[in-house]
Structure 1
Amino acid sequence: MELREDFHVTNYMNQVQEEEMKRIANELHEGPGQQLFSVATGLEFLQSSIQEPGMREYAKELNQLLRRTIEEIRFISAELYPITLGKLGLEAALRSFFTLYTSTFGVVVHMNRSGERIELSENLSLAIFRCCQEALINIAAYAEVDEADVYFTWEKKSLKIDIRDKGKGFDKEAAIANHRMKGVAAMEQRMKQVGGEFSITSELAQGTTVTLLLPIQEGGMER
């Protein structure tokens, strides 16, 4: 009984946290993000009208810095909450995140799909998005690669997602001993909350694969 109550409390707290992050992400996107984009557009116009070469080059450097700042704000906003998730769906939201991820970390993500895509609930889509996000952040931090792969395998009653890299890999027992598995624990917990399964395999110098397996009812809703 206590375990069930703890599960519901944890789930509720996660929902509250997600709603707050969604609010902040929207404010970043609609406020500073849009304002800085307007400034950058104006700066480009001024740059084209400057005659003195030195000042024109300086304006160009300022504009490049501003554009990088805008990209960072977009990435932070996407980390907080994927605004496109509810509007465009899971795969489109992930592709948008992959673009920002590549521009931030220099790791190109290849997305592959087999089977017919099923519309998922926003709750399930968000759990999958968060796990993919966490797995890719770990790749950027530890794998030492410039490419990663995300595979979607759609079945009538299940969805399997593999996030793979061919990086340096790690020793799982050593990682647990050194307290480097917190992100992994968070992914596992998210999958449990939506009735899914989580697994991770890794070998030194062979890379790492994170696998998410989720049961799907007709209509695309989680069980």
Structure 2
Amino acid sequence: MDELITFRDIIKKSVLNLGAFTNVSWVDMCLSLLVAFAVGMFIYYVYRVCYRGVVYSHNYNVTFVLMTIITALIIMTISTNIVLSLGMVGALSIVRFRTAVKDPMDIVYMFWAISAGIAAGAKIYSVAIVGSLVVGLTIWWLTRRKEASSPYLLILHYEAIAEDEVKRRIRKMNAVLKSKTVRKELTELTVELRIRDDNTAFVNDFSALEGVKDVVLVSYNGEYAQ
């Protein structure tokens, strides 16, 4: 009986120890938040400089700074208690974000902010700082590289009299047909093509053709017209 009671006491003591909170010093807390803020601002700067999407959103960029700080707060909180950390994992697993992410690079920045916040909250400052520098320099280097040719969309509105000449010139440009809309007296043709060194003189050539009403050339990244 004594052995059974002793065993129960051990179990109770273990559970109580698991539920005990450990204090986070003011120095560690301030340092973690400072590192999280600094890394978050670095992410903010890289996103603003290297953004290549359609419409830049300042508010969306600010969320990366806040996400880094909040993640560090969560990690510092759950590190004080094992039971609390398990409960926090269960609570966060039911959270669903409904905001549509249009640019895949935005997901990269989200994971970057969360990872940096985890490292800062766990007091692994070298990982947060050095890792963020490597990621930031990689993004900057990749976005600054210029391709030999850039994709564009060429949109033509022309009458039937210009049909043959337009087709002949399109074939010479190795363009890819995207859409063609035929109305009673007017045809709308949209093709994708690549241009080297921003040579857009052919737009004037198309516009000078008899029967061509208007010519539009827009930058194209495969998904959005810019």
Structure with larger RCO (C-alpha < 8 A, sep 6+): 2
Query: Is the shorter-chain TM-score for this pair beyond 0.5, marking a shared fold?
Result: no
Provide TM-score, normalisation by structure 2. 0.23
Rg: which structure is higher?
2
Provide TM-score, normalisation by structure 1. 0.23
